[in-house]
């Protein structure tokens, strides 16, 4: 089975523009995107493809990917589902592993465990994100090409096109969907090590100062150990709320209330609660 990791990458970001071009470690010249690519290349038995957009702003993404020795596909900026499908077709993939470029702590061992799980149970879709037990930022999803193709042909609304696997895991009557839990030693869903804000970047910079070794990839256990020993690091980005996919206005209001509560904007929060 020809398996490929497709890394979703673009320089545009509403909360932190150019985030994947920031340096990790902070005082290095290694970008976040490079760290993600290098960690994915450590997964055995897979190819790595960077899927970016046709925007001129993402020429730098293509340049970095080629310098790291991986394939590049450029497609739609908004229809990310089609970008994945076309990248998979071009690279003749039988199975796709989805990783995003804002997760510079992605663990090759976690991805390999998900591959093994899918090999054993033959599910259409296997991930560690539907019920989060790992630290946030170690997200990976695996699905067969025929599943991706069916989603590409059948998904119609904007959110299903923008979020690659939304149609798959929301249609469990069509697909065999499985979520994999973290081992007990790594069950820390309270840890946030993805990159969306300046606070996230500060935390990741500190974490890389502790763990980065050019000759050895740090693991989920190493990450958890740092947070166990230095729990105050959690304070750096504890007020950040992860962006979520909402099906309707009610869902967006629920997410808006969470943000308002964190910022102690109580009057606005109370008004939304009455809607």
Q: How do the domains of the chain map onto residue ranges?
A: 3-186, 244-275
Say what the pLDDT of residue 261 is.
58
22: CB partners within 8 A, 6+ apart: 31, 32, 195, 201
Alpha helices in 144-248 (DSSP H): 145-154, 158-162, 166-169, 198-211, 220-229
DSSP 8-class letter at 23: B
pLDDT tens digits, residue range 61-115?
Answer: 999 999 999 999 999 999 999 999 999 999 999 999 999 999 999 999 999 999 9
φ and ψ of 184, to 5 deg: -55, -40
pTM of the predicted protein model: 0.88
pLDDT tens digits, residue range 189-213?
Answer: 999 999 999 999 999 999 999 999 9
> Which CATH entry fits the domain spanning 3-186: 3.80.10.10, 3.30.930.10, 3.40.120.10, 3.90.550.10?
3.90.550.10
């Amino acid at each position: 089975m020809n398996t490929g990791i497709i890394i979703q990458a673009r320089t545009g970001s509403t909360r932190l523009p150019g985030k994947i071009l920031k340096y990790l470690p902070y005082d290095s010249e290694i970008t976040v995107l490079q760290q993600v690519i290098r960690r994915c290349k450590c997964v055995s038995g897979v190819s790595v493809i960077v899927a970016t957009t046709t925007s001129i702003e993402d020429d730098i993404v293509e340049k970095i990917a080629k310098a790291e020795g991986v394939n590049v596909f450029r497609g739609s900026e908004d229809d990310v589902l089609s970008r994945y499908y076309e990248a998979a077709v071009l690279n003749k993939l039988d199975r796709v592993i989805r990783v995003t470029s804002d997760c510079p702590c992605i663990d090759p061992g976690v991805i390999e465990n998900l591959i093994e799980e899918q090999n054993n149970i033959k599910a259409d879709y296997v991930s560690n994100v539907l019920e989060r037990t790992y630290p946030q930022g170690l997200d990976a999803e695996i699905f067969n090409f025929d599943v991706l193709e069916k989603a590409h042909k059948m998904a119609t609304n904007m959110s299903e096109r923008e979020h690659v696997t939304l149609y798959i895991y929301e249609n469990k009557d069509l697909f065999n969907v499985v979520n994999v839990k973290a081992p007990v030693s790594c069950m820390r869903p309270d840890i946030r090590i993805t990159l969306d804000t300046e606070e996230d970047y500060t935390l990741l910079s500190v974490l890389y100062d502790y763990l980065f070794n050019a000759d050895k990839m740090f693991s989920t256990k190493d990450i958890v150990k740092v947070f166990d020993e230095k729990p105050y690091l959690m304070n750096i980005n504890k007020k950040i709320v992860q962006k979520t996919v909402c099906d309707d206005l009610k869902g967006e209001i629920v997410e808006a209330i969470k943000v308002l509560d964190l910022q102690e904007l109580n009057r606005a929060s109370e008004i939304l609660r009455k809607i």
